[in-house]
Amino acid sequence: MPIPFYMLCGSLGAGKTTLLMRLLEHWNSQGHKVGVLMNEAGEVSIDGPRAGTIAEQVLNLAGGCICCDTKDDLAWSIAQLVQDYESTVIILECSGMADPAEVVDAVTDAYVSRMVKLERIFAMLHPVPLPETGMAELVTRNAIRYADDVILNKRDLYIPGHWEQFRETITRLNPHSRLWETNHARLDVTALLTAPQTRATPTNVSFGKLPEAEHRSEARASHHPMVSTVRLPKPLDRAKFMKWTKSLPEGMERAKGFFRFAGEPELQEFQFFPPRTSTVEPVMLLDEPDHVVVLIGRNYDQDGCRTSLLACLAS
Ligand SMILES: Nc1nc2c(ncn2[C@@H]2O[C@H](COP(=O)(O)OP(=O)(O)OP(=O)(O)O)[C@@H](O)[C@H]2O)c(=O)[nH]1
């Protein structure tokens, strides 16, 4: 049974570790065995030892960026926490350099998703202008875009006028997330960890022209990344599959997998990534992987995609 996995991302220095400490206190009081993964920008971990004062198991991931190399490191660290340490919940604090899109990609991988279930994504921000260009811009914007909860911290530093503008930018980037305003990440942790029910939108802030609560939470639910792992019990028909890759719906953001085509001996690796590009290439691996395709998107017809993919199995 996969254990809950939480992702904490956002701007550099926004107060992520401050919130992490509050979450750790909460989980400890509930008797959880928390595994913490720190992904810091520098070579020496600063936040790790801080978290280590509360969490029993803190692992550091190399480098600040979760890229192709670190993805293996992440999978290995998760396996270590789940299998050796028997963590009952895991939280990853991402550096301001780790693109949340890459992290979501890594934790929804067919191997990793057997161990953990991505529960919620928190984006921690502070009222400084959003970066205009480069990696920091991509990371901050993706953190806001992917978040279930956006936490606007350092309320004591808000400057009237600038604050309204800041909040407007965030709601424009992600109108579906819950928004929290905090000082030193002081918030109701139980409410933060609870997914909104269809009819209630527990949030400590209300403002502006939000849709009715019930519409808002339905919209949020449909905006949350949806992951389907489709197991392929037989080889695929090449022509049907290639046609299928061209029929993927608007909301599909990422897909990947391994399988074979009927009548062809090579193992194939499939990748689908923005902007709607697909590749299918023979690959050689040391071990035979599970034959699956993982689909990641928002607001797409999960059953429809699964059915149409399974219709590509060779008869
Ligand atoms: N004024 C003010 N300072 C805060 C607040 N919350 C956190 N801080 C301080 O801001 C600094 C950075 O907080 P951290 O929690 O380390 O931030 P972080 O996002 O983990 O930082 P990095 O991991 O380096 O990106 C610390 O000195 C905190 O004590 C707040 O609400 N107001």
From ligand 1's centre to the CA of 103, what distance in Å?
Answer: 22
From ligand 1's centre to the CA of 27, what distance in Å?
Answer: 21
Which candidate, 169, 272, 173, 271, places its Cα nearest to that of 223? 173
Q: Residue 184 has which token pair? A: 């030193």
Which candidate, 126, 137, 207, places its Cα nearest to that of 162? 126
Q: Residue 101 has which token pair? A: 């899109």
Q: Which residue's alpha carbon is nearest to atom 22 within ligand 1?
A: 13
- pLDDT, tens digit, 9 for 90 and up, residues 86-127: 999 999 998 766 778 778 888 887 788 889 999 999 999 887
Is 1.10.645.10 the CATH number for 3-223? no
Residue 304's pLDDT is what? 94
The amino acid sitting at 249 is P
In angstroms, the Cα distances linking 267 to 131, 151, 156, 236, 277 are 42, 44, 56, 11, 20
Q: Residue 112 has which token pair? A: 């990793």
Residue 151's pLDDT is what? 95
Which among 184, 186, 187 is the best mutation to test ligand 1's pocket, defined by most ligand atoms within 8 Å of the CB?
Answer: 184
d(CA 266, CA 264): 6
d(CA 204, CA 188): 9
- pLDDT, tens digit, 9 for 90 and up, residues 253-289: 778 888 999 999 999 989 887 667 899 999 887 668 7
Residue 52's pLDDT is what? 66
d(CA 173, CA 14): 18
Residue 139's pLDDT is what? 73
CATH 3.30.1220.10 domain range(s) in the chain: 226-310
d(CA 93, CA 154): 18
CB 197 within 8 A of CB 167: no
d(CA 297, CA 203): 25
Strand-strand pairing, 89-94 and 57-61: unpaired
The 8-class DSSP code of residue 53 comes to T
Residue 49's pLDDT is what? 55
Predicted ipTM > 0.90:
yes
Residue 43 has pLDDT above 50, yes or no: no
Average pLDDT over residues 38-42: 63
Average pLDDT over residues 224-240: 86
Which among 16, 18, 95, 97 is the best mutation to test ligand 1's pocket, defined by most ligand atoms within 8 Å of the CB?
Answer: 18
CB 41 within 8 A of CB 12: yes
Which candidate, 222, 202, 219, places its Cα nearest to that of 211? 219
- pLDDT, tens digit, 9 for 90 and up, residues 171-200: 888 888 899 999 999 999 999 998 775 433
- What is the model's pTM? 0.70
Residue 259's pLDDT is what? 94
Band the pLDDT of 208: cuts 50, 70, 90. Answer: very low
Is 3.30.1220.10 the CATH number for 226-310? yes
Residue 70 has pLDDT above 70, yes or no: no
From ligand 1's centre to the CA of 214, what distance in Å?
Answer: 34
Residue 129 has pLDDT above 90, yes or no: no
Residue with tokens 């920091």: 136
Q: Which residues line ligand 1 (CB under 6 A)?
A: 12-18, 47, 96, 153-154, 156-157, 183-185
CATH 3.40.50.300 domain range(s) in the chain: 3-223
In angstroms, the Cα distances linking 124 to 18, 154, 222 are 10, 10, 22
Q: Residue 57 has which token pair? A: 């198991």
From ligand 1's centre to the CA of 153, what distance in Å?
Answer: 9
Reduced 3-state DSSP string for 54-123 = CCCEEEEECCCCCCHHHHHHHHHHHHHHHHHCCCCEEEEEECCCCCHHHHHHHHCCCCHHHCEEEEEEEE
d(CA 294, CA 289): 13
Q: Which residue's alpha carbon is nearest to atom 15 within ligand 1?
A: 15
The amino acid sitting at 219 is A
